[in-house]
Structure formats: structure tokens, C-alpha cells
Amino acid sequence: MSRIVTQAAVRGAHDILGRAEALYRQCMEEHEGRQAIGFPETAYYLPMIYSLLGEEISQLNQLEPILEYLRKDLCPPVPPADRLWLPYLENALDAGITTLIAEEIYNCLRYLLGTEPHDSTWHGFISDTILRTLGIQLVDGRMPGFAAIVGAAPTTEIAVDVVRELQKRNILTFLIGNHEGRTCRDQLLEANVITEDPKAGWDIYIVPLGPDTESIIYALNWAIRGALTFGGHKKGDWKACLDYTRARIFAFGIGLGTIDDLKYGSGAGAINMGFPVICDTEIPEIRPTGVCTYEELVRELDHKKIVPTAIEVRGVKVKVTDIDVPVPVAAAFEGETVRKADMQCQMGGKYSPAFEYLRMREMDEVEDGKIEVIGPDVDTVPEGGALPFGMLAEVAGRKMQTDFEPILERHIHTFINHAMGIFHMGQRDMNWLRISKNAYNAGFRLRHFAEVLRGLMMEDFPALVDKMQITIYSDVEAMQPALQEARKVWKERDDRLAGMTDESVDLFYSCTLCQSYAPNHVCVISPQRLGLCGAYNWLDGKAAYEIDPNGPNQPVPKGLCLDPIKGQWKNVNDFVYNTSNRGVERFNAYSLMEDPMTSCGCFECIVTVLPDGQSVMIVNREYPGETPLGMPFSTLASSVGGGHQTPGFLGVGRLYITSPKFISAEGGLPRIAWMPKELKEAVMERLQARADELEMPDFPTKIADETITTDFEGLINHMMAVEHPALTMTPLLG
Amino acid sequence: MNPAEKRSIDPASQAMLTRAAKEKVPTAWDRLEAMRPQCGFGQLGLCCTFCEMGPCRVDPFGEGAVVGVCGADADTIAARQILRKVAVGGSAHSDHGRTTAMTLLQTAEGHGDYSIKDEKKLRQVARYFGIDPEGKETRALAKAVAQAALGQFGNQEGELIFLKRAPETRQKLWRELGIAPRGIDREVVTALHQTHMGVDADYVSLMKQSMRTALADGWGGSMIATDLQDILFGSPEPLRAKTNLAAIKADKVNIVVHGHEPVLSEMIAEASRDQELLAKAKEAGAEGIQISGLCCTANEILMRHGIPSAGSFLHQELAVMTGAVDVMTVDVQCWMPALKDLTEHFHTRLVTTSNRAKQLGTHHIEFHEEHALETAKEIINLAIESFKNRQPDRVEVPGVEVDMIAGFTAEYIYKMLGGRFRPSYRPLNNGIMEGRLRGVVGVVGCENPRVCQGYAHTELIRELIANDVLVVTSGCSATAAARVKLLQPETAFQMAGRGLQEICEAVGIPPVLHVGACVDNSRILIACSNMVLEGGLGNDISDLPVAGVAPEWMSEKAITIGWYAVASGISVWFGDPLPILGAPGLTQFTTHDVDKMVGAHWSFEADPIRCAHQVIAHLNAKREALKLRPMMYETQDAAAG
């Protein structure tokens, strides 16, 4: 009965609210009202309060009105009656929000008292940095969702099984709370699935947050920040924030063991966010849909079915790949490294000759599914030894084009890494692979690389790849013909890519992948200007369009050229106007100052004009320090994103810096006066090449970095000292 | 069978009817018997008294005159009467709305004893009127809203502002058909003009004006009444209340407030808590002062304060029959002049209070908003005096009283389905889309001694909820449903289909939701608009699997409500037919052709079970047109069976 759920949730809300109030009074006795409070490493204050109530809580006594609001306005005063009850769904939901906010206050105060995180083996609050890195995966679908396991499984084996089921599907798992003192974290530690370092859990998608139910707030105030960071919603816009979490963040709760009042209260809070709860005990269900997308509260007594049930109830879109290899395959294992001590065998790197090469063939030249290993297998190599490794992947498909070869080839790295216990780095003939002892003992051999690659390739690129055969060479002699061919083709590809200009094509490609959080933003990707995120170039756009003709990458015929210098075309303007929800009337592809391209927020770097009005600086996302403009990247970023045109500010991908079309309307490369050292080094090879083309071979040395100066005056002095070319160019402003 | 059992299914009514028979006091039922056989020409709509060349009546069988003296045929004669009835019914609601607007204006100007109880709704209604509430002080805003509302009555051109609260597709349709009402009073005057001798002889044209006039009620006068009453007296939210004659307390001073407008009864309720008056009542030997309501005045104060309802329309004489009513006040609409003679049979003082509703020889205490509290106290004083004249041996209050949950509004549904932070109609729409709910049906309207009191309402509702139809109810239908416990949440588990039961269980609601007085049927219009807006159930109200039924109707207001429902896209079933069956063209238009115009039509079916199944078939057809899933448990049961 939902009434019983509501009764429990209301009692749970009263319980935690009472404890939060008591702790608040205790803190007020021990501290000044002005005492600073907050969670570590977040710009969102107490994120749940910030999102839902719009309050920026940074000192202790600011909690007073919040607690008062919960007590007087929000928390239902009594649970619903047993007969002639009044409508109670609203009570359950309001009790849920009360619970979440009270939990947030309670845990924040425990941070103040130094009792949170529980101990070093529990993660506690999740920082904004983790939110950015992992949250993107959560909203763009690479990570299909997250599960909050509350309680503990009846046995260690069941705990491991449930978590493995989640891991297999790339679903991030948080471990929270306990059942009669026992935690799921204990169970997974016992089974060596996780270590005592909670931060290490991020790599394997299992993070223990805290041993009590209140810690659920860490998962939920992480999720709600997604609405602010990626959804671009404003503080206090509770409706938009909660709609966002329901629509975009595929989270759910799994309750293992007894569901007590506080768990019901917390669950009701999760349901407000659109996250359903699935329990392994005889709880009453709430099945009519509409608060969540599908059912709200469901029981599943069979532990084998609990994860599939949860996925169905939340509507999580998971691509389950059934690839016949002895280790699990999932994106969750992508970041995993294999340390030397754990390694059975390695290939490539500096240890043996190796390469990987993908080639398109005619349909009748490929026998789909054929896998051949030429040479000795891994079991002939002593533990810790090395083996030559050449992989020739041949694909055929009606829609396959040679242009797509490099895109598919680049995916070898990603796909191979999806296998648990396997490590891959590099590309072409600079690749490096390791097989862990665990994977080896599980039966992993050379042909399994091919199985993984083929399985994932066929799944991710079904429109392009109809057939695929793979040959693996571990015999150096045997690999030579393939390697020679590969080297010849790689050179051709480089020449072809390098030879492409904006003028040589009739079509550009749009990218509206990010309209989910910058609704008016459109990227226009041309051969000489890749997407500002750095992840999509023109060929990728083309391939993506082939793969999904209705997807976010659409061909944009250039049409009449309105301005060749600034890079403006009639059809492109029309397209941008319509797809930006009539927000952007025209744009110049090559200009920083006049109708520049908008940014979503994902840009790798920001280009901005400096106060001298002559030169520009470029700062990359990774650079945390000060810049000559007096603002770090994070501050600058706020004036660039959101899909608005901001003359003088531009979000760009790294590779665009060295493009001949880099702000060419304003004179291009010679405008660059400053960039962080790391960025400069990363693009140096191409930077030098471009400088040579411009017959300014010493130009790269004239670009200052933070080791030279981080203030504007210092920069001007440096520019004068090195006779920086920007000083004599036409002013950008006025 | 006890003759009283044929007259009412309510044991309290039966007890009082038995008493009346014993004491030879005539009631509406007896007067109806005396009236029979009722005029067949009138019932078929074929009698015209509009000019003094007549009265004319045309023969339905073609054996006598087929046209009136002026040449009007059956269709014209019947259609003119319908339009005139629509104008009267709409005027009743709209004049009520006007009173409310005047009260709000006086309150805003600082006169009288009322205050603004729901500031949030005031701000919301201001926005509907296109008034930006930002930064405006409450009284100034209330004044602007009251003036804007009053302006709607005299508006000559353009269209009523509240039409914008309908789905856009519907608004467009109204404009295309030329039936978007311009001003509330204007449509009534035009309607009356159109029915004058020698004006409109085209029944389609007459029916279009019927719709236009009715829309000026539903989306005009009624909606203004509902919204402004919410502002003045507070928006209802679910509460527990009781109904039936035991609301009248033998040991207390009883004031029964009857009629439709809550302005006075609100104040009487407030005055009944006055310490001085309470002391006076005690002095007179009473345990206290008991206010209870009848008819829709009852619904108004029950929805907002939980004040018990003594009963519905046909309870008015039966309440007096308890011998324990010290004062019965009546305001406007649906009180029977018969009360005068009846109250004289007991000690009960009948008091008329509206300058629009008087009776020769009946005590009149005229109510004016600016002296509201004073008037209320005067009435209570009169009741205390009257109490002293009570004859204890003649007091016989049936001990029947039933609990109910009431207080549902279109706005509250948002909160009901999502709490403070997820307010939404989504779960309702989803319930329909997934096949837990077949649809939503408004069961509304009066009581009529021609039907066994409460029988049709309750049989119909039981059949609907057993078939997974969520029922919303208002007016006397709501009170009838409450009397048989249909407004109790537990009822869902005994009577509702499995899908509806699951929704009721998840939300904690009864399967039948009380939305207020008959003027509050405007809440149903808004709820339907909200459902369309929420998405997934089509683009217009006429796409929704919804319907309206008035199984025991009798008043002209019911006809107006029926027409504004149809014109808004909600098909309507009436128990007794409209007086049109003698007019073949008009009947064809009303029951069929109008559907092509507005996507809804009229049906007439007196048998409540047959009616329920016609409604269910209609909902199924709407579901099919929307390509919704089959009903969730029907398929499962069919598969299992």
C-alpha cells in the first residue's frame, strides 16, 4: 500500500529533520553563527538546497530559515490516517524532499564537526571535478546511468553478482548505508572487488559513499548538480532541475535488505528526482507512472533479476554486448591500467614490433567473422614477457568509404580497452598492449582481441560495417606485407586530410549534440575548423551523418559565399538561424570579433582578445592558473558558453589553433601572444609547421607562457622585447 | 415496498418522507403526482408562448398544426426555447459571478467584512486577465482583478479573456465557428433578442448562439464565480466532511443555509463562532450553534471549511421535516417556494436574503456585502429566538450521517499528483495512456422527483468506477454520491476496477472526486484543458476520453452546462431528454450533427446502467482514436480467461 510507504516516509523525514535540527543546535552552541560551512570542492554550496530552494548557504546560521521552512511548510505534520485518509502522494513526495534537504544539512554539519566522511574507506561528498569528468559521460550516454545501492545483500556472492551485472552495463554504482550493520562495501571488499581506497572506485565504477542511509544525499546532490552544470538551469529553478534529472540522468535506487523509515524517506526524495527504487524485500509497490518516467517503487525478490528489472523500470538505455570472450567487456573498464606486476604479457610499446591497421575492402573480399592468428599465442611467452603483435582489420560495407577508415581505426583503442584486464595505448605502429594475469588465467588469448574489436565495431557502427575479418600476426616475418601496406596508406591519409580545405568541399557538417544543454548552440564543422570540443572533425561529421542520417550531425551545403575572408555563406547562415531556435542570425567561421561562432560549453580552449586590442591569448581547460587577462579559465568560460555570440571570445578545439583558417579574418596565428606551456608543447609540432608556412620560423618562441608572465604588463614587455608581430598589426578593437 | 423507497434511496430521506406522509404534509413528490400527466407538448418542446398570437402548439404526429401562427415549425419553436433556457441558466451562474466580483471590488476598496484569503490565486487570476501582478500590493491587485472581471460582463467586442485558458485548437475552432463569446451580458441579450417573435428561424443558428451563450457562462460567469470565490474565501483543498440530515443537531441552534451563493453563508459560518452569540444560544438552552448547508450553498462552504451538508436539492423540505431547523436562509436558485407553507407547519423561520429572490409573506433580511457580518448576526439572533419556539416533541432527526473527502480543484490536482516539487498532471495522463484509467467522466447536476432520489447518480457512478473510469462530481450529484460513501477513499478497494484502484491507492484519493458546487463545473473545463496541455492525449478537449453526465437533471442551468460542455468538446449524456424530441431537425443536430462542428454531442438515456455503458463505449472510441493501449487489466484478464 502506498499509504504505508507514505507513513514510513513521513516518519523518516521527521527522524532526519529532528536529527538535523539537533545537530544544528549543537553546532550553534559550539560555533559562531557566522561559522563557514560547506562541502569540499564545490561551487554549488549545499547543492540540493542551492538547486531546489535557490539559497547559497555558506555559513552556519543561514541554515536556520531552511530548517524552519522544512518544519513549518514542507514536511507533512503527520502521516496519513488509516481510514478516511486525505490524498497522500503529495505527502510522500514532500517528505522525500524534506528528507533529502535534512540529510544534506545533517551531513554538511558532520563535515563541520569532522565526522564526515565516515572514515578514509568511504568517499563522502562528490566534488565538482568528478561531476565534470564523469557527469558528461552520464548525460551524453556513455555511462548509461548510476545505481545507488542502499543496504547490503543477503550474501557476499549476491552482492558481487549484483554489482557485476551493473558493471557489465557500464552503470556506475554507489554503495550506501547498511542492513543491520552490514554494508555492501564490506561484502565487495571481502570478495576483492574493490579496495579500501574509495577514490580508486571511480575507475571500476564502484564507489562507496557512506555506511549510513544519509549518505544517499551524496549521490543525489551530485545528480542535481548535473542539471546546473550540464543542463544550464538556474539555482532555485526546482522545476527545471527536477525535470532535467528525470529526463537525462538515468539513476535508480536498489534497496537491499530491510527498508526502514529513513530509507523510505530517502527513496521518496529520489522519486521526486525521477529515480525509481527497486527493493529485494516484500515492500508495497507504487506502479502507476508519471512522477518517475515509469514505475516509482517496485519489488524484485529474485536477485538475478534485480538489475534487469531496475533497468527496465528506469528506462535505462543499455547496449549489452554479448561478445564471446572470457572477460567482461564494457566501457566501465576503459580507464583500467594493467600494472607490470599484474601483467602476464605485453605487445608493442618499446618491447616488441606492433601495429594496428584498419582497411576497407570490397564486399566479396571479406569473410565476415573470420579471425586468424598467425604465429605463436600468448601461452608460449614466459610470464612478464613480450610478443610481436600486428592486427589487420578488414571491413566491408555498402556504406563504407575509405574516408571512414581512420575513424574506425581510431576506435580500436577505445574498443580493446573495454575488455576487463586488458590495457591499450597509442595507435598505428605506436601501439602498446598488455594482458593481465587475471585475464590470461581466465583464458584470454590473442584471438580474443579480434573478438572484442569485431563485436564492438559491429555494434557501434552497424550502418557502416556489414562484414569484418581480422588477422593477428605474432610472427614478425608474416606481418611485414600488411605493415608495409599500412605505412603507405597512413601517409596517403595524412596527405588527404592535410590537403582538405574549406574551399575544396561544398558541404560542411553541423553538430547539435550539445543542444541538450545549450539549446541555441550549433557547431558548424568545416575541414579547417573542427568542432570546439576537439572530438569531431569534418570527416567525423560526415561519418556520423552516414551512420545516423537523422542525428545531430547534418550536412550543410555552403551555398553562396557572402564573405570569403570572414567565412560567411548564405546557406550556412540560414541553417544556423533555424537550428539555433532563431537565436543566431549569421556567423563568420574565421572571425573572433564579428559574429563569431557560439559555444556550448565543451570547448577545449578559449581564445580571447587582450586589453591591448592587438593580440590574443589562448587558454586551455586543463590550465588552472592565472592568465594575463586576470581571469582563470573557469571565469572566462562563463562568458563564452551557453550558445551566445560573444565577440572577442571564442571556444575552440586545439587543432584549430594551427589551422590556416584560425581567426584568419583578423590575421590569424601571428595574433597569439600567450598560451599555457602545456598547450604550446602539445601543439608545437603543428605550430612550428604553420609558422614555417607563414615564413615566421621563430614565431613559436615569441609566444609567452606562464613561466614568462601571467600579468598583462609583463606580457606587453615581453612582446616588445621579442618584437611580437601582433604589435604592428591593425587593432582588433574599434 | 414502502412508497418512500420509490422516491429516494436515502434512508434519511425515506424516514422524513414517511413522516411527511403521516403528517399529511405535501412534498415535491406529492406535487409531482398531482401534476401528472405532465404536458406532452411541453416535454417535446412543441409549445410556444413567446407571443400573444399564441399560445401555439404543433402536432408531433403531423395530424394537427405543423407550424405556429407565425409559421415557426417544430424545430424553430423548440430551438428558440432551448436558447432562451440557456440564457436563463447562464444568467443564474453569471449573476452569481457578478456578485462575487462586486464583493471582491468592495473588499479591495476596504469596505465590508471580507478579506483576501488566497493571495496566490489572486496573482494567478491576475495573470489570466493580463494583469502583471509583480510588485502590486494585494488590495490594488484585487481591485484591478475585480474591475477586469466586471468588465467581462459588459464587454461588447472581441472575446472573453478566459477563453485563452482553453487549448489553442479549441479557441481557433470557436473563432472559426463564430461562437467565441464577446461579453457575458451581451450574449444573453443577443440570445433573448434572437428568440423574440419574428427573429431567428434557423435552428442551427439558434444552437450556435446557445453554444456561444453557454460558453459565456462556462468560460465566463461561472469561471469568474469560481476563481473569485477562491480568492475571497480560499481555494479548497481536500478535507474530511459529513453529509446528510444528522448534520442538523437536535441539541443546537440550527441554521440551514440553502441556495447557491456563499457570500452570506461564509459570514454566517464566521458569526456562528462569535462568543457573545454562543453564550446567548447557551442561555436559550442550546448546546451551540450549528450551521449546515443544503444544495450548492452547502457545497461551497463544505469544500472550503468542511461545514456539513444536510443534503441536496430534494432534502430541502425533508430538512424542515426534522422539526429541528430554527432558521433556513435561502439566497438564490433552487429553493422551492413550497418552503413557506412547510416551515409554517413547524417553528422554522424561513428567511430570504437576496433582493433577487423574495417571496410574499416570507421574512426578508436583505444581504448587502458591506454589512455582511451584521446581517449574519441578525440571522443567528433570529435563529436563537426561533430555537426557543422549538417543539421538542416534534423533533425527529434521522441519525444518518456519512463521511466524505471533498475539496478537489483543477489546481490542486497538480499538487495531488506531485507534491510541492513535482506538480503535474502527468500521472493522470499516464494513467489514461497506460490503460489503468479508461477516462474521466463528470457526473453532475440536479435531483428531480421524477427520478428516485440518488438512484441514477449512484448506480451510474458505481458502474463507471467499476469500469476504471475516474469520476469527478459536483453539485447535488456530489452530495448523492457522498451519501452512499462513494467519496470515501476506502470505496476504491470495494468498487473500483483494478486499474482505477491502483491510481487511487497510489495517490490516496477516492474514486469519485468532489469538485464543488454546480457553478464549479468550470473547474472541470480547466482540468480538461490541463490534461490537453500535459500532452499525450491529443490536441483538443474533444480528443480526450472524457464525458459529462447529468442523470437526474431538472434546472435550466443544467442545459447551459450541457451546452458549454458540448461546445468545449465534451460529449454529454442527460437522463431525461432535452425538450426537443418533437423537433426532428433539432434532435438530429443536437445528438449527431453538432459533433461534426465541435467534436461532441448530446445523448439521452434514463437507465443509469445503460447510460454508463454508452459512456464507456464513447471513452473506448476516443481511446482508439488516440491509439492508446488497451485497458491494462482487461487484456490480462482476457488472456487469463
Residue B510 touches chain A, beta carbons under 8 Å: no
Indicate which CATH number applies to the domain containing A606.
Answer: 3.40.1470.10
> How many Cβ atoms are within 10 Å of A305's Cβ, its own excluded?
14
> How many Cβ atoms are within 10 Å of A693's Cβ, its own excluded?
12
Query: Which of A258, A282, A314 is a domain's end point?
Result: A314
Question: Does residue A333 have a pLDDT over 80?
Answer: no
Q: CA-CA distance, B398 to B99, in Å (whole number)?
A: 36
Q: CA-CA distance, B14 to B368, in Å (whole number)?
A: 38
Average pLDDT, stretch B25-34?
97
How many CA atoms does the CB half-sphere of A674 hold within 13 Å? 32
Mean pLDDT score across all residues of chain A:
89
Q: CA-CA distance, B22 to B319, in Å (whole number)?
A: 16
Residues whose CB is less than 8 angstroms from the CB of residue A369 and which lie 6 or more positions away in sequence, other chains included: A454, A468, A469
Measured between its terminal Cα atoms, the distance across chain A in Å is: 70
Reported as a pLDDT band with limits 50, 70 and 90, residue A231 is confident
C-alpha cell at B234: 480560499
Q: CA-CA distance, B296 to B311, in Å (whole number)?
A: 9
The 3-state DSSP class for residue A351 equals coil
Note whether residue A460 is domain-resident: yes
Minimal CA separation from A255 to chain B, in Å: 20
Q: What is the percent of chain A with per-residue pLDDT over 90, rounded to a whole number? A: 58
The pLDDT value given to residue B554: 98
Nearest CA in chain A to B513: A87
Mean pLDDT score across all residues of chain B:
96
Q: CA-CA distance, A733 to B284, in Å (whole number)?
A: 92
Say yes or no: A309 and A343 in one domain. Answer: no
Note whether residue A498 is domain-resident: no
Nearest CA in chain A to B416: A90
Average pLDDT, stretch A504-532?
81
Note whether residue A683 is domain-resident: yes
Give contacts of A 651-690 with B, CB under 8 A. none
Say yes or no: A109 and A167 in one domain. Answer: yes
Question: Does residue B241 have a pLDDT over 50?
Answer: yes
User: What are the Cα distances from residue B283, in Å, to B289, B327, B376, B378, B635?
Assistant: 12, 18, 19, 17, 66
DSSP structure string for B42-61 = HHHT-EE-SSTT--EE--TT
Question: Does residue A356 have a pLDDT over 70?
Answer: yes
The pLDDT value given to residue A462: 75
The pLDDT value given to residue B37: 93
Contacts of B468 in chain A (CB under 8 A): none
Q: CA-CA distance, A656 to B517, in Å (whole number)?
A: 69
Say yes or no: A669 and A544 in one domain. Answer: yes
| Residues B356-370: tens digit of each pLDDT | 999 999 999 999 988
Residue (of B589, B528, B591, B520) closest to B557 by Cα position: B520
Look up the domain containing A403 and give its range: 331-487
Average pLDDT, stretch B451-474?
98
Say yes or no: A255 and A340 in one domain. Answer: no
Residue A93 touches chain B, beta carbons under 8 Å: yes
Say yes or no: A392 and A285 in one domain. Answer: no
Q: In degrees rounded to 5, what are phi and psi of residue B324?
A: -115, 5
Say yes or no: A55 and A81 in one domain. Answer: yes
Q: At what angle do helices B521-534 and B426-434 cross, to 10 degrees?
A: 80
Say yes or no: A552 and A480 in one domain. Answer: no
Q: In degrees rounded to 5, what are phi and psi of residue A141?
A: 100, -5
Residues whose CB is less than 8 angstroms from the CB of residue A652 and which lie 6 or more positions away in sequence, other chains included: A532, A603, A604, A605, A606, A607, A618, A662
Run of H or E including A345: strand A343-348
| Residues B304-347: tens digit of each pLDDT | 999 999 999 999 999 999 999 999 999 999 999 999 999 999 99
Q: The cell 456563499 sits on which residue?
A: B262
Note whether residue A164 is domain-resident: yes
Q: CA-CA distance, B163 to A241, in Å (whole number)?
A: 32
Spatial contact of B327 and B363, defined as CB atoms under 8 Å apart: no
Residue (of A220, A5, A9, A22) closest to A94 by Cα position: A9
Spatial contact of B387 and B286, defined as CB atoms under 8 Å apart: yes
Residue B512 touches chain A, beta carbons under 8 Å: no
Query: Which of A487, A519, A550 is a domain's end point?
Result: A487
Question: Does residue B637 have a pLDDT over 60?
Answer: no
Spatial contact of B177 and B154, defined as CB atoms under 8 Å apart: no
Question: Does residue A535 have a pLDDT over 80?
Answer: no
Residue B114: alpha-carbon gap to chain centroid = 24
Q: Which residue has the higher pLDDT, A513 or B391?
A: B391
Note whether residue A647 is domain-resident: yes
Q: Cβ separation of A290 and B405 shorter than 8 Å? A: no
| DSSP strand pairing (A467-473 vs A389-396) | antiparallel
Q: Over A282-325, what HEC string results?
A: CCCCECCCCCCCCCCEEECCCHHHHHHHHHHHHCCCCCCCCCCC
Torsion on CA atoms A587, A593, A597, A603, rounded to nearest 10: 170
Beta partners for residue A396, in sequence order: A467
Which of A3, A5, A84 would you mutate first to test chain B, the one with the most B CBs within 10 A?
A: A84
Residue B475 touches chain A, beta carbons under 8 Å: no
Torsion sign (Cα): A137, A131, A420, A159: negative
Note whether residue A622 is domain-resident: yes
Q: Cβ separation of A84 and B417 shorter than 8 Å? A: no
Total domains in chain A come to: 3
Residue (of A165, A166, A102, A172) closest to A130 by Cα position: A172
Contacts of A241 in chain B (CB under 8 A): none
The pLDDT value given to residue A140: 57
Reported as a pLDDT band with limits 50, 70 and 90, residue B277 is very high
Contacts of B487 in chain A (CB under 8 A): none
Run of H or E including A208: strand A206-210
Question: Does residue A521 have a pLDDT over 90?
Answer: no
Q: The cell 432551448 sits on which residue?
A: B82
Q: The cell 439566497 sits on which residue?
A: B331
Question: Does residue A543 have a pLDDT over 80?
Answer: no
Note whether residue A322 is domain-resident: no
Rg (CA), chain B: 24
Instruction: Delineate the domains of chain B, giving CATH numbers in brackets.
Output: 3-57 (no CATH), 74-233 (1.20.1270.30), 239-394 (3.40.50.2030), 410-633 (3.40.50.2030)
Contacts of B436 in chain A (CB under 8 A): 288
Q: Which of A3, A89, A289 has its CB closest to that of B430?
A: A289
| Residues B600-632: tens digit of each pLDDT | 999 999 999 999 999 999 999 999 999 898 999
* DSSP one-letter code for A363: G
Average pLDDT, stretch A282-299?
92
Say yes or no: A306 and A364 in one domain. Answer: no
Q: Cβ separation of B427 and A291 shorter than 8 Å? A: yes
Average pLDDT, stretch A56-85?
96
The pLDDT value given to residue A464: 79
Q: Which residue has the higher pLDDT, A389 or A587?
A: A389
Q: Which of B403, B419, B429 has its CB closest to that of A90?
A: B419
Say yes or no: A509 and A395 in one domain. Answer: no
* DSSP one-letter code for A403: G
Minimal CA separation from A428 to chain B, in Å: 51
Say yes or no: A431 and A528 in one domain. Answer: no
Give contacts of A 440-459 with B, CB under 8 A. none
Question: Does residue B638 have a pLDDT over 60?
Answer: no
Reported as a pLDDT band with limits 50, 70 and 90, residue A409 is confident
Residue (of B580, B589, B583, B579) closest to B75 by Cα position: B583
- Helical ranges in A31-127 per DSSP H: 47-53, 63-69, 89-113
Identity (one letter) of the amino acid at A624?
Answer: P
Spatial contact of B163 and B212, defined as CB atoms under 8 Å apart: no
C-alpha cell at B614: 454508452
Q: Cβ separation of B427 and A91 shorter than 8 Å? A: no
Say yes or no: A254 and A131 in one domain. Answer: yes
Question: Does residue A470 have a pLDDT over 60?
Answer: yes
Indicate which CATH number applies to the domain containing A424.
Answer: 3.30.1650.10
Q: CA-CA distance, B144 to A200, in Å (whole number)?
A: 63
Q: CA-CA distance, A150 to A573, in Å (whole number)?
A: 52
Indicate which CATH number applies to the domain containing A32.
Answer: 3.40.50.2030
Note whether residue A378 is domain-resident: yes
| Residues B368-403: tens digit of each pLDDT | 988 999 999 999 999 999 999 999 999 999 999 999
Residue B540 touches chain A, beta carbons under 8 Å: no
Average pLDDT, stretch A138-155?
84
The pLDDT value given to residue B641: 44
Reported as a pLDDT band with limits 50, 70 and 90, residue A584 is confident
The 3-state DSSP class for residue A504 equals helix
The 3-state DSSP class for residue A439 equals helix
Residues in chain A, total:
734
Spatial contact of A252 and A164, defined as CB atoms under 8 Å apart: no
Say yes or no: A253 and A224 in one domain. Answer: yes
Residue A242 touches chain B, beta carbons under 8 Å: yes
Give contacts of B 435-464 with A, CB under 8 A. 436
Residue B434 touches chain A, beta carbons under 8 Å: yes
A:B CB pairs within 8 Å: 99
Question: Does residue A154 have a pLDDT over 70?
Answer: yes
The pLDDT value given to residue A579: 84
Reported as a pLDDT band with limits 50, 70 and 90, residue A496 is low
Strand order in the sheet with B602-604: B512-516, B469-474, B439-443, B546-550, B572-574, B602-604
Average the pLDDT over each of A203-212, A512-521, A701-710, B90-99 and give the range with the smallest value: A512-521
Query: Which of A254, A288, A314 is a domain's end point?
Result: A314
Question: Does residue A482 have a pLDDT over 50?
Answer: yes
Contacts of A298 in chain B (CB under 8 A): none
Spatial contact of B352 and B330, defined as CB atoms under 8 Å apart: yes
Q: Which residue has the higher pLDDT, A233 or A674?
A: A674
Spatial contact of A369 and A511, defined as CB atoms under 8 Å apart: no
Residues whose CB is less than 8 angstroms from the CB of residue A195 and which lie 6 or more positions away in sequence, other chains included: A189, A201
Spatial contact of B397 and B324, defined as CB atoms under 8 Å apart: yes
Give contacts of A 33-52 with B, CB under 8 A. 52
DSSP structure string for A234-257 = PTT-HHHHHHHHHHH--EEEEEES
